[in-house]
Structures are given as structure tokens and as C-alpha cells.
Amino acid sequence: MPLAIDRDDLLAQLQTLPNLAGLPREELAWLVEHGVVQSRGAGDLVAPKGRPVENLFVILEGHIGVRVDRGAGPRRVMGWGKGEVTGMLPYSRMRAPPGDNVAEEPSVLLAIDVGHFPEMVYRCPTFTAYTVHLMLDRARNFNASDLQDEKMLSLGRLAAGLAHELNNPASAAARGARLLLEGLGEADSAARALGAAGLTEAQHTRIDAIRNACYRKPMGDVLSALEQASREDDIAEWLRRRGQSERHAAPLADTAVTLEDLDVLAEGLPQPALDAALRWVAAGCNIFSLATDVENAASRIHELVAAIKRFTYMDSRSGPEAVDVEPGLRDTVRVLAAAAKAKGASISLAFEPGLPKVRASGAELNQVWLNLVDNALDAIPQSGHVQIEARHEHDRVVVSVSDDGGGIPEDVLPRIWDPFFTTKPPGQGTGLGLDLTRRLVRGYGGDIGVESRPGRTEFRVSLEIEEAPG
């Protein structure tokens, strides 16, 4: 709402504002002459998201904040108070704000219409230079905020994928440990029964031979589910014929024990001793199998944690360093394994042997790979394919990430690098990933490009090689 304020009083007020006090009086007088004083209530929109900003604002009273929704709900990213300048600035390429500019308390603004900018640049050079510095600071602050938000969203995707990947081995380890504790009681009982059987040394040797088979898979091969079921049925039938418990069949079937081995054992033992021997062997086989499962699950968890540590460069110093792109790309595929699995997608890797290292920040470079591979997985159909290649070209390492999705439409392709542009549904994309990816790549003297057609989209990143000392 416009307010009627005496021009002399307004000029005097501008001269008291800390940020404008040093400006020439004639420039402040020009602003007063060409400005309109407006009032805004708390919560009023000053510049709505997505709509052209038509005024430069000098805040005489109050406070204005900008709230941006980057996929996780609106968040305040910047604010301006009394004496500060905001809105459209001279020479700015901004056409529409990325979020709503809102009066956070009752505010009074001096609004300068953008139509006055050509004259303002000529009449108010000191003020114009001041706004240029403001524009650079604003861009720097927005970039820092963008990068932080994208990192947090990437962290969320990583956490979700890692939780999914860790859940299976963690559950397997917990289940195996529980069954292992239960099996120890059976093994102890079987050992006491076997000790009470009064067996000879030769009979113990036969039993030990069967027990040692627990450490080998059947015939050294991995059996199919049907073959495993058939083997278990055969052993169960053997146990039935000899009046033994069929519950020993499952643990024995998962070893290299043959029916012939069992026949030899049965021939050398009386019936009561055979029962004790089979209980002891089966209990031992079961414990070994469970312990192996727990070890495999723990190893998988260790590998995943190690991959995350490498991916985030937790143990490395910050800043540019000599980076090997191959481990980073492999770790990226590991941390996105859950996303690929959910889509039934395949990811293939091809690296030229002996790739030289590049000069970059390892953690930020992995952010680039994460964005590109994650986008490729989003673009492909169910059971699609993503191809990752890295090769040495002249003084560069070139990494390409391609997918067999539907491609990027021609009218969309020129806009994919624009900040906040996204084709994903609301809440599923910030429109920051590719913009920040390009900024990160260019920050280390690299470049990124894209080619797309139906059935194939390829992003290519070229990075400068780290020069050898001397």
C-alpha cells in the first residue's frame, strides 16, 4: 500500500540508514524523487516465487525473508532488514525469485521501478556500484545455500539407500546370532551323549571324517534350490530307514556329506551311538553354517561402511587433491545399489587401465557422480541399463554416464542446467542437481556436456589431469 511521506523527511531518513549513509546526497535525492513508499503487513508477499520482480526495494522499516522449497518444504534461506536493499538489482539476470519474498514483520519499503534503472545507472553511479556488490554477495549466499541443500538431500538419499542395504545383512546377522545361541545348547547336549557312548578311537575317527565335511559345500558347487531340496529329501529318507530324526537332514544336506559316507558311519556304530554321533555332527554342521552366515553378514556391513567412508572422504583433508576417479565411481554404484535393485536396473562399469588421477575434491567429485547416476536411474524404464565409462583423452580424464531412457525432449534440453528447473514431480526434485554438478566440475577446471535422443542420454565430464611433481 503506497504511503504519503514528506520528501525531505524521507531523504533525511535514508541518510541515517547505515548502509546508505555514505552515498552522495544527490543520489539519495534521486531515489526519493523516483521511488514510491509502500507498507507491508507481517506475512504479506513482497515478491512471489516465479513472477517477475518489478522493483528494487530499500527497506526503511521491518524485515523481509525469502523462503525456498527445494523438495523438503519451504525453508528460509536469506533475509534483509532495515537499511538493506533487495528485490531486482541493476545488471541482475534474475527474472523471478526462486522462492517467496515475505514481510516477516510490518515493513515500510521504498520501491524503485525497474523502468527507472537506465537513468539510475547514469544518475546514481555510487548507489549502482553498491547494488552490484550486493548482487554478487546475494549470488554467493544463494550458491552456498543451494549446495548445502543439495548435499542434505543427497545425504538423505544416501541414508535411505544405506539403511536398505544394511538392513538385510544386519537382520541376517541378528537372526544367525540368535539361532547360533540356540544351537550351542543342542551341540553341548549332543557332545555329552557322544562322550557317554564309550566309542573306540577308530569310531571317533569315522565321526570326525563326517564332521570335517561340514567345512565343504556339496561337491564344491553351489546347488540350485531344486537340487538342494532333492538332496535333503534323500538324506531324510536315509535317516528314516535307520530310525533317526529327520531334523538332521537340513544341516547335513548343506555339507559335502554323501549317502555313502553315512553308510560307512552307520556300519561302524551301534544304533544308540549312531544317534549320538548324528546329533553331534548335525549340531556342528548347523553351528558352522550359522557362524559363516554371521561372518558374511558382518563382512557385508563392513564393506558398505567402508564404501561410505571412501565415498564421503571422511578420512581425507578437504580441498583439491589428486583423486582416482575409478574407486569413487565404484563406491557410487555401491551406495545406489538399493535404487538400482528397486528398479531392476543393471549398471555396467568400464575403465581404461592405468587412468591418471585428476585434480579435484574427492567428496565433491563423488557428489557429481551421485547426481549423474541417480538421474540416470530415474530416467530409465523398469529393468533399464546405465553404462559408466572412464577413459584418458589427451590431458583429460573423461567420464561418461549414459542410460537407455526415453531421452530429454528438445525443448527441455537447453534448460536442464538452469537453477531450480526440474521435470520431476513436486517434492521429488530440487532442480539444483545439474546446476550444482556443473558448478562443481567447472570449479576444478573441468567441463560437462550432454547428448540425448530417444533411447540414449549421455552426460560427459572431462577433468584436468593432476600433474606429476616436477
Q: Which residue, among 136, 98, 102, 123, has the nearest Cα to 23 in the 3D structure?
A: 123
- Look-up of cell digits 514431480: 425
Pairing of strands 107-113, 35-40: antiparallel
Query: Nearest 5°: CA angle at 165, between 160 and 167?
Result: 95
Question: Which class is domain 7-123?
Answer: mainly beta
Q: Answer whether 7-123 and 318-464 agree in fold.
A: no
Rg of the chain over all Cα atoms, to the nearest angstrom: 35
Q: What is the pLDDT, as a whole number, of residue 2?
A: 59
DSSP state, residue 54: -
Q: What is the pLDDT, as a whole number, of residue 66?
A: 79
- The CA distances from residue 51 to 43, 70, 86, 88, in Å, are 18, 17, 15, 12
Could you tell me if 316 and 362 are in contact, meaning their C-beta atoms sit under 8 angstroms apart? yes
pLDDT, mean of each 10-residue run, the chain (470 residues)? 72 85 88 89 84 87 78 65 84 72 88 90 87 70 54 58 70 83 82 81 80 64 73 87 84 80 81 82 82 81 70 57 88 82 89 90 83 89 92 92 90 75 49 72 88 92 75
Question: Which class is domain 318-464?
Answer: alpha beta
Q: Which residue, among 50, 47, 83, has the nearest Cα to 65 in the 3D structure?
A: 47
Q: What is the pLDDT, as a whole number, of residue 430?
A: 41
Torsion angle defined by CA atoms of residues 233, 237, 238 and 244, in that order, rounded to the nearest 10 degrees: 110
Q: Which residue, among 108, 124, 121, has the nearest Cα to 24 in the 3D structure?
A: 124
Q: What is the pLDDT, as a whole number, of residue 400?
A: 94
Rounded Cα distance between 268 and 262, Å, is 10
Could you tell me if 308 and 342 are in contact, meaning their C-beta atoms sit under 8 angstroms apart? no
- The CA distances from residue 42 to 61, 104, 138, 424, in Å, are 12, 5, 23, 33
Q: What is the pLDDT, as a whole number, of residue 399?
A: 95
Q: Would you kindly state where each structural domain of the chain is located, as residue ranges?
A: 7-123, 158-306, 318-464
Helices (H), ranges, 343-419: 362-379
Q: What is the pLDDT, as a whole number, of residue 470?
A: 43
Rounded Cα distance between 35 and 29, Å, is 10
Contacts of 117 (CB under 8 A, 6+ apart): 56, 90
